[in-house]
Amino acid sequence: MDAIHLQNPEQEKSEILKRYKALLRSCKRKMEKDDKAQIRKAFEVALEAHKEMRRKSGEPYIFHPIAVARIAAEEIGLGTTSIVCALLHDVVEDTDLSLDDIKGMFGERVAKIIDGLTKITGISEQSTSIQAENFRKMLLTLSDDVRVILIKLADRLHNMRTLDSMKHEKQLKIASETLYLYAPLAHRLGLNAIKTELEDLSLKYTEPEIFFDIEKKLKDTEPERKRYINKFIVPLKAELETEGFGFKMYGRPKSIFSINNKIKTKGVPFEEIYDLFAIRIILDSKSEDEKADCWRAYSIITDFYHPNPDRLRDWISTPKANGYESLHTTVMGPEGKWVEVQIRTVRMDELAEKGYAAHWKYKEVAEARENQLDEWLKRIREMLESSDENALEFIDDFKLNLFADEIVCFTPKGDMRTLPLGATALDFAFDIHTKVGENCIGAKVNHRLVPLSYQLKSGDQIEIITSSKQSPKEDWLGYVITAKAKSKIKLALKEVKKKLADDGREVLERKFNHLKLDFTVQNINEVANFFNLPSSHELFYRVATGSINLKNIKDYIEERNKRGGKKQGAKKQGSKSLESIVKEVRGSADMLVIGENMKRIDYKLSPCCTPIPGDDVFGFITINEGIKIHRVNCPNAIQLMSNYAYRIVKAKWTNQEMISFLSGIKIKGIDEMGLVNNITQIISTELNVNMRSISFDTNDGVFEGTIMVFVQDTNHLTNLMAKLKKVKGVLTVSRVDGN
């Protein structure tokens, strides 16, 4: 909803009331008198608590909780408790009300959900990301009550819809965080409409040029697309009607985010993407006929159009883990174009698009989906058992399993298990049971012995071989991709390391006594600092494994004596606390200007995206390497902005003297006589660009080459790429992300 600027308090009051009434109308479920009273009470408490507050857009703050509650009710289909929590979700964080106050007024359950929605404040130690800690806190509560994440998604969706009034760097941070965690969570919970909107809105702020370019192209090609869709569906409509089906059929454009993903992954321009839309057929079927009707419709479609045998997806017989049911096929349509067709029933469509909002309507499937959700929450609880794991690692491991495509495997007894695509035999072992995973020595897939790292395929039947003498090894972390397996292996390795560290402590104490050194915390920490170790625990472990011995400690004593007994504690510049580095860099300036004579701290151009002048960039403050400059669309940017927003500093290029920057260009095309010569001619002669390296590979008449060149800025690079595109035989020219 657009921001409304109301100067008149009476106007404001009436607008608030209007929105509150719209919220009550949004409540899908039948409400008892008591429910209305609870919602009214929550609304009044929130109204009073936020009365002096305004949003960045200038409108009254209460508009936000009402909007979040409305999304929770209307678009997610939640009930009274959730609507109460949505109205109150910011009061503990932003006002004087405490959790105890909430508990007294609304009870234990509401207080617990609001606690899960309340952020941890203040930057913790330098190795930790405050955002990751907040995600973990939220997930801890999620494993107990899924409503926490559903309200959080409603909150995030409203923030994304109203992001225009924020500063650019805040937009980038919130959009990156949304892509990193919230869109995958919406996907995992079966909220497809919300997931798609979150992705598109995120792209609008992280890569606005790309977003508006695709949006415009979709608009421009709409008439032509509509004509094609009509041509495609006319014969199908007639046949489905003859066969007595009740149905709706329409073409639906893919989301801007998914189109952009295709452009990136397939390396083709917008004009060459064939599946810009999907044809959706929604059948009005009785519940007992759903499966048969979908396959009958499939049979009719393939009578008219040839199917691609590799592109049939049957998610009706085995629904996705998030409950998604549909039959997908890709067929060869008129004019030689591939077209994706999705066949589903009205019930399947509502569950796919609305997730929870459709639950209350279809009681018979609600139970099945609840069981799947319980299974997933059980896995999260198992992951959370290793709660001493670094929050960032936890979030990374957790995120891995949110968006992955799934495969279906079987136990020797024929029980079905769903795992992410890319899962291994060892993942399967941990999925069966932690003990089975820890004692796993081998596996048989389809009765054939395979290594632990064997990647499973859909339909595989797996038998795990165990031994009580087996225990997890360090290299196992490279064999698994599921969050459960990773966290259990890390936990087991940590236990072993802890035991060794306890032994190492005793060994170190004897060494200290031998060298007449007091075994004090201060001396232990000084020795750890001397060896650049992060903690005394690591020092004890190194002593136990023999990588630090008596001679090394003697070296430390000699060094200390040279300093005249002074403390070793004076750290090198690289060991400053992160807070002090952040403060030093930020200072009073809001912007880091690259190319100025910066004496305060070093900066480096990050090799993962090789930024050059003209690129939209930001600075990331590291502990030991000064500031690293990244492109805003760097492959790692979303993770950095999402997890370490407080270490991001705005950056821009100064008009500096001509310096050359290394950048990479990838060229693909058809191998023609003298092609390489033409390319090098343009680079070195016409544009006076220096090349650092050039490599070409030809395979059956198709060539692919990478050229590393020195350029001044993005204009220089763009001109060069445009010239290379004109060379006869060259099909695509793109920039390489890293060198």
Indicate whether 687 pLDDT > 70: no
Q: pLDDT tens-digit profile of 432-447?
A: 988 999 999 889 999 8
pLDDT band for 283, please (50, 70, 90 cuts). Answer: very high
The side-by-side arrangement of strands in the sheet containing 617-621 is: 591-594, 648-653, 617-621, 627-631, 603-605
- Closest by CA to 714, choosing from 643, 610, 619, 596, is 610
Tell me how many helices (H) and strands (E) the chain has: 29, 20
Looking at every residue in the chain, the average pLDDT score rounds to: 80
Map residue 191 onto helix, strand or coil. Answer: coil
Within 10 A of 401 (CB to CB), how many other CB atoms are there? 23
CA–CA gap between residue 640 and residue 642 (Å, rounded): 5
Q: Is the separation of the CB atoms in 618 and 630 below 8 Å?
A: yes
- Mean pLDDT: which of 74-88, 617-631, 642-656 is highest? 74-88
Active-site position among 94, 382, 704, 713:
94
pLDDT band for 89, please (50, 70, 90 cuts). Answer: confident
Please state the rounded mean pLDDT for residues 234-243. Answer: 92
125 belongs to the catalytic site: no
Rg over CA atoms, the chain: 30
Ramachandran region, residue 700 (left: φ > 0; alpha: ψ -120 to 50; beta: rest): left
Q: Is the separation of the CB atoms in 442 and 426 below 8 Å?
A: no
pLDDT band for 29, please (50, 70, 90 cuts). Answer: low
Q: Between helices 256-266 and 192-206, what is the axis angle to 10°?
A: 70
**Least confident among 121-135, 229-243, 360-374, 449-463:** 121-135
Q: Which residue has the higher pLDDT, 510 or 580?
A: 510
Q: Is the separation of the CB atoms in 537 and 543 below 8 Å?
A: no
* Total count of residues recorded for the chain: 739
CA–CA gap between residue 459 and residue 456 (Å, rounded): 9
Which domains are seen in the chain, by residue range?
9-214 (1.10.3210.10), 215-361 (3.30.460.10), 491-570 (no CATH), 575-653 (no CATH), 661-736 (3.30.70.260)
Tokens describing residue 228: 């094609």
pLDDT of residue 291: 93
94 belongs to the catalytic site: yes
Residue percentage of the chain with pLDDT more than 70: 80
Please state the rounded mean pLDDT for residues 175-196. Answer: 86
Burial 153-171 (b: 16+ CB within 10 A, else e): bbbbbbbbebbeebeebeb
| Residue type for position 62 | I
253 bridge partner residues: 277
CA–CA gap between residue 551 and residue 37 (Å, rounded): 75
- Closest by CA to 277, choosing from 250, 304, 298, 305, is 250
pLDDT band for 156, please (50, 70, 90 cuts). Answer: very high
Please state the rounded mean pLDDT for residues 561-565. Answer: 63
Helix locations, 50-181, DSSP H: 63-74, 80-88, 91-94, 99-106, 108-117, 130-142, 147-161, 168-177
Q: What is the DSSP string of 313-358?
A: EETTTS--TT----EEEEEE-GGG-EEEEEEEEHHHHHHHHHGGGG
- Closest by CA to 707, choosing from 676, 728, 685, is 676
Q: pLDDT tens-digit profile of 319-356?
A: 887 778 899 999 999 888 889 999 999 988 888 877 66
**Least confident among 69-78, 118-127, 431-440, 709-718:** 118-127
Indicate whether 271 pLDDT > 50: yes
Indicate whether 427 pLDDT > 90: yes
Please state the rounded mean pLDDT for residues 691-720. Answer: 80
pLDDT of residue 214: 92
Active-site position among 32, 44, 93, 596:
93
Cα–Cα distances (Å) from 630 to 111, 169, 353, 616, 652, in that order, read 41, 14, 36, 9, 11
